[in-house]
Chain A
Amino acid sequence: MDSAYLLNLAFNGAVIGLITALAALSITLVFGIARFPNAATGDVATAGAFAGLLGPVLGSGALPIILVGMATSAAVSLLFYVVLFRALAKRSPVASLIASIGMAFFLRAVLTYFIGHDQRVYPLPLVRAVPFGPLRVQAADIQVIVWAGAALAVTFALIHLTPIGKRMRAVADNPDLARSSGINANKVMVVMWVVAGLLAGLAGTLLGVKTVVSPEMGWDLLMPAFAATILGTIGNPLGAVLGGLLIGLAQELSTPLVGFTYKIGVGFLVLLLTLLIRPQGLFAKNSLVR
């Protein structure tokens, strides 16, 4: 175990962590505003990743793949809000949570029925890894860093610098007060579900760019993403990003210790420890509120 190996693991962990962070950001928006943990986030990401396979029809490179994936996930997300979660908003969060598990299964069933269980790869040119000192950086890693960074910045700006973002934060803080102040909750919800879908779609396509596209990819992303959400405090976008990075690093750096299969378990372990030691997360205040 030399330092170069560890450095490469850490870098890889940070890249995977950014993808986890995108999924966590999607979860944290829904959790903060619609008030339930959306278990379908992973499978919405998977749907986007599979839709991305159609991207090359529109043009070459990663851009069309990612855009098609994001658009598809956003459409799926909005559709399920309109037909399912809007009606469930009056009930306890548990009803929405159970329904979101149903949505996850349903999406995966549709995908596997029509496309099968095979792994696929995006038709992207193979580029030789660039050495940065001891680091070996793949083209896919650069894609992930640029796209994830941009998406995080845009999401952040949306929440903190726009009027609709202000309304979102108001609904997250106190839905009744927001409603009585004349905020149109439905409009806020529509924007929130679209953004949550876009983020999930980006997470799915970037995971496909970095690894492979498979029906289980999103479900396996779910536990680390939940862990990142809670670690970073629910409703805190910056927290979700830091949480995602921490989980990604923990997963990759633990590989030499626990082996490859337990990597997913590491996310679960972090989730458990966070809930037991500091259930309010690292940042303790729902910053969608601030």
Chain B
Amino acid sequence: MLSYLLAVTVIALIYSLMTLGLNLQYGFTGLINFGVVGFFAIGAYTSALLVVAGWPILLALPCAVAASALVSWPVALLSLRLRIEYFAIVMLGFAETIRLVVTSEGWLTGGVQGVTGIPSLAAALGLSMESTLLTALVALGAVIGVVWLSRRLVASPFGRIIRAIRDDEDAVQALGKAPGRFKVAVFVLGSASAGLAGALYAHYITYISPDQFMSLLTFYIWVAMILGGVGRVGGAVLGTAVLIGLMEGSRFLRDILPGVAEVEMASIRLGVIGLALMVLMRFRPEGLLGKGRGA
């Protein structure tokens, strides 16, 4: 039971990194990123492949973060050129395309079989510590770091500008600040955070394959962010914890409701996320604890 709770905590912390990133992008700046899972996948594959190829993990993790950030930079430039609805659709297509690439380029990614035998953090660092506990501590450190960074960022003049961009971009322009640079910076930062999440995930699960990177995961993160409150740094972590609690709690539901197969459970999770998106948009677009202007 305790080990199960620890495992759920690790996943919640890893997902929190994505939610924090999305909250910077959408919650504070108004960038609609429907491609979170694409950057998560880039981070996961980069770190996994490098470490499997014999790189030290202390080098592979920064490379994973850098890879996500690098890919996100031209994508962010797109956001300056496109209407927000178009950008949203493009991001959806981007994430699906990343999945196509890791499925098709088997010589690099193992294709449908994925990458197996990824060393856990403990193994990669040569520590004789219990691996889940170590991953939990590292993920917790990462979350605290990103929360601290987000808070500093939001409280700074930079933070005032990005919130102003979210609320009235024309006014920002009129004041002589170019919104573009700030948008790109925020988008890259958020994607880097998703890349770090992907790298930690790969070393935690020790096996990755394309079907772990479905667009559903992106909207898990959206629901988590909206639950916690759009534009609240702490809310991102809280919302993720609540959502993972609900979703993972559903595994206990199966003990109570025997006869529900894992396949049906997967359908139920998909349905819950779908229903949550509809109900939240209909009744609480700013989130349960939101301060920002909802959609």
Binding site for B on A (CB under 8 A): 36-37, 39, 84, 87-88, 91-99, 101-110, 112-113, 116-117, 223, 226, 230, 259, 261-262, 264-265, 267-268, 271-272, 275-276, 279
Q: Mark B260-271, 1 if CB is under 8 A from A, else 0.
A: 000110111111
**B96: CB under 8 A from chain A?**
yes
**Pairs A–B under 8 Å by Cβ, sample size 30:** A36-B85, A37-B85, A39-B92, A91-B281, A94-B32, A94-B85, A94-B295, A95-B285, A95-B294, A96-B281, A98-B222, A98-B281, A99-B277, A102-B274, A102-B275, A105-B219, A106-B274, A108-B270, A109-B268, A109-B270, A109-B274, A110-B271, A116-B263, A223-B92, A261-B100, A262-B100, A265-B100, A271-B90, A272-B90, A279-B86
Stretch from B40-48, B76-84, B133-141, B169-177 that touches the partner: B76-84
CA distance A12 to B273 in the complex (A): 36
- Judging by beta carbons under 8 Å apart, are A112 and B81 in contact? no
User: Across the interface, which residues of A come within 8 angstroms of B86, CB to CB?
Assistant: 37, 230, 275, 279
Closest to A116 in B: B263
**B234: CB under 8 A from chain A?**
no
**B103: CB under 8 A from chain A?**
yes
Closest to B81 in A: A276
- Judging by beta carbons under 8 Å apart, are A95 and B96 in contact? no
- Minimum CB–CB distance from B258 to chain A (whole Å) comes to 17
Residue among B263, B270, B281 with the most chain A CB within 10 A?
A: B281
**B246: CB under 8 A from chain A?**
no
Instruction: Give the dominant DSSP class at A's interface.
Output: helix
- Judging by beta carbons under 8 Å apart, are B274 and A37 in contact? no
CA distance A117 to B266 in the complex (A): 11
Closest to B276 in A: A102
**B89: CB under 8 A from chain A?**
yes
**B97: CB under 8 A from chain A?**
yes
**B93: CB under 8 A from chain A?**
yes
Q: Mark B63-98, 1 if CB is under 8 A from A, else 0.
A: 000000000000000100111111011101110110
**B278: CB under 8 A from chain A?**
yes
Q: Mark B92-131, 1 if CB is under 8 A from A, else 0.
A: 1110110010011000000000000000000000000000
CA distance A264 to B281 in the complex (A): 29
- Judging by beta carbons under 8 Å apart, are A103 and B90 in contact? no
Our pick among B84, B97, B270, B272 for the contact of A268 (Cβ within 8 Å) is B97
User: Across the interface, which residues of A come within 8 angstroms of B273, CB to CB?
Assistant: 102, 105
- Judging by beta carbons under 8 Å apart, are A98 and B295 in contact? yes
Closest to B272 in A: A109
Our pick among B81, B84, B264, B277 for the contact of A101 (Cβ within 8 Å) is B277
User: Across the interface, which residues of A come within 8 angstroms of B270, CB to CB?
Assistant: 105-106, 108-109, 112
**B144: CB under 8 A from chain A?**
no
- Judging by beta carbons under 8 Å apart, are A105 and B96 in contact? no
Our pick among B32, B82, B104, B285 for the contact of A275 (Cβ within 8 Å) is B82
Residue among A91, A97, A230 with the most chain B CB within 10 A?
A: A97
Binding site for A on B (CB under 8 A): 32, 34, 78, 81-86, 88-90, 92-94, 96-97, 100, 103-104, 216, 219, 222, 263-264, 266-278, 281-282, 285, 294-295
Our pick among A95, A108, A116 for the contact of B281 (Cβ within 8 Å) is A95
- Judging by beta carbons under 8 Å apart, are A113 and B282 in contact? no
CA distance A265 to B98 in the complex (A): 9
User: Across the interface, which residues of B come within 8 angstroms of A276, CB to CB?
Assistant: 78, 81
Contact flag A37-B268 (CB < 8 Å), given A88-B281, A99-B282, A264-B96: no
- Judging by beta carbons under 8 Å apart, are A94 and B84 in contact? yes
- Judging by beta carbons under 8 Å apart, are B82 and A223 in contact? no
- Judging by beta carbons under 8 Å apart, are B90 and A275 in contact? yes
Closest to A115 in B: B267
- Judging by beta carbons under 8 Å apart, are A265 and B32 in contact? no
Closest to B105 in A: A261
User: Across the interface, which residues of A come within 8 angstroms of B266, CB to CB?
Assistant: 112
Our pick among B83, B85, B93, B216 for the contact of A105 (Cβ within 8 Å) is B216
CA distance A19 to B288 in the complex (A): 41
CA distance A36 to B92 in the complex (A): 15
- Minimum CB–CB distance from B267 to chain A (whole Å) comes to 4
- Judging by beta carbons under 8 Å apart, are A92 and B278 in contact? no
User: Across the interface, which residues of A come within 8 angstroms of B282, CB to CB?
Assistant: 84, 87-88, 99
- Judging by beta carbons under 8 Å apart, are B97 and A265 in contact? yes
Residue among A95, A105, A275 with the most chain B CB within 10 A?
A: A105
Q: Which 5 A-B pairs have the closest CB atoms?
A: A102-B277, A109-B271, A105-B274, A106-B274, A113-B267
Contacts A87-B282, A95-B281, A99-B282 given; 13 further ones with Cβ under 8 A? Answer: A37-B89, A94-B84, A99-B281, A102-B275, A102-B277, A106-B278, A109-B271, A112-B267, A117-B263, A230-B86, A272-B93, A275-B78, A279-B86
Closest to A219 in B: B215
- Minimum CB–CB distance from A250 to chain B (whole Å) comes to 15
Contact flag A113-B268 (CB < 8 Å), given A97-B88, A265-B97: yes
CA distance A261 to B83 in the complex (A): 29
- Judging by beta carbons under 8 Å apart, are A92 and B83 in contact? no
CA distance A272 to B282 in the complex (A): 30
Contact flag A113-B271 (CB < 8 Å), given A94-B32, A261-B104, A279-B82: yes
User: Across the interface, which residues of A come within 8 angstroms of B32, CB to CB?
Assistant: 94, 97
- Judging by beta carbons under 8 Å apart, are B295 and A95 in contact? yes
